Amino acid sequence: MARRQGTARVRLRRAVTGGARRAGRWYGEGPLHLLLMVASFALTGYVGVRLLADAQWPSVVVWFVGAALLHDLVLVPLYTVAAQAVARVTAGTARHRAWTGYVRVPAALSGLLLLVWWPLITLAPGSAAAAHYTLTTRLPSEVFWARWLLISAGMFALAALWLLVRTLHAWYSGCTGRPRLRAATARRRRRRATK
């Protein structure tokens, strides 16, 4: 009798764990995962009805999902293609080494500033938005695009200067790994010796 009860218990335990395992396979993740998801979506539901309570709720959904889609499917491909194009054009050749970074870094930083401050930089003189900005702050609205251009120009100039210094440095100090530069150094030394 006792033994039969024992087997029943084992059978029950097997059935329970087997069921849990089957449910786990069906869910695909652990119980903590499930609990987190339920808690998170409960919060989303509670807040979501408030976020979407306004009559403009379809636009809110469009903004929420659209932000992710626009970023993943438009912004990223755009800057990836641009970055790769720059890398192709500036790739190293037999005559000079790659100068990708000297173009890509200032371009990326300039693009970042444009992205973050787009509404201010693109304030068109005479537009309603520009008038609104000045009416609110009593500040001039047309300064931002010029400042952005100047900052960008400054960064490109700095990169060009840096590239120039690096190139000249490589020329004058002589790069041991490069026969061409070694030849140049030797020529220079010969010239110096004749002076």
Partner 1 sequence: MGAARRFTPPTSPAFWRSPLRGPRLTALLGVVLLAGITLLFVTGLLSYAAYNPDLAGGVNDKTPGKGLLGFSLFAWPTGPHWLYRLTQGVHVTLGVVLVPVLLAKLWSVLPKLFTMPPARSIGHALERLSLLLLVGGALFEFVTGLLNVQLDYVFPGSFYSLHFYGAWVFIGAFVVHVVLKLPRTVRALRERTDPDAAADDTGLVAVRPAPPTVSRRGALGLVGAGSLLLFVTTAGQSIGGWWRRTALLAPHGGADPGSGPNGFQINKSAAGAGVRARDTGEDWQLMVEGGGRRVRLSRAELLRLPQYEVALPIACVEGWSTQDQRWSGVRLRDLAALVGLDEAPPGVLVESLQLSGAFRRAALRDNQVRDPRSLLALRVGGADLSLDHGYPARIIVPAAPGVLNTKWVARMTFGAV
Q: Closer to partner 1 at the Cβ: 121 or 175?
A: 121
DSSP-derived secondary structure for 143-163: HHHHHHHHHHHHHHHHHHHHH
Cα(45)–Cα(68) distance, integer angstroms: 20
- CB contact set of 158 (below 8 Å; sequence gap of 6+): 106
Cα(106)–Cα(100) distance, integer angstroms: 11
Applying CB under 8 A, which of residues 138, 190, 191, 192 lies at the interface with partner 1?
Answer: 138
Applying CB under 8 A, which of residues 132, 178, 180, 188 lies at the interface with partner 1?
Answer: 132
Cβ atoms of 89 and 82 closer than 8 Å: no
Applying CB under 8 A, which of residues 82, 87, 160, 163 lies at the interface with partner 1?
Answer: 87
| Contact flag: residue 76 with partner 1 (CB under 8 A) | yes
Cα(152)–Cα(37) distance, integer angstroms: 45
Applying CB under 8 A, which of residues 99, 102, 103, 133 lies at the interface with partner 1?
Answer: 133
Residue 117 has which token pair?
Answer: 């401050």
Q: Closer to partner 1 at the Cβ: 7 or 54?
A: 54
| Contact flag: residue 158 with partner 1 (CB under 8 A) | no
Cβ atoms of 152 and 113 closer than 8 Å: yes
Cα(49)–Cα(43) distance, integer angstroms: 10
| Contact flag: residue 112 with partner 1 (CB under 8 A) | yes
**Which residues, 1 to 60, sit near partner 1 by CB under 8 A?**
25-29, 32-34, 36-37, 39-41, 43-44, 46-48, 50-51, 53-54, 56, 59-60
Cβ atoms of 141 and 125 closer than 8 Å: yes
Interacting residues with partner 1 (CB under 8 A): 25-29, 32-34, 36-37, 39-41, 43-44, 46-48, 50-51, 53-54, 56, 59-60, 62-65, 67-68, 71-72, 76, 87, 98, 100-101, 104-105, 108-109, 112-113, 115-117, 119-121, 129, 132-133, 135-139, 143-144, 147-148, 151
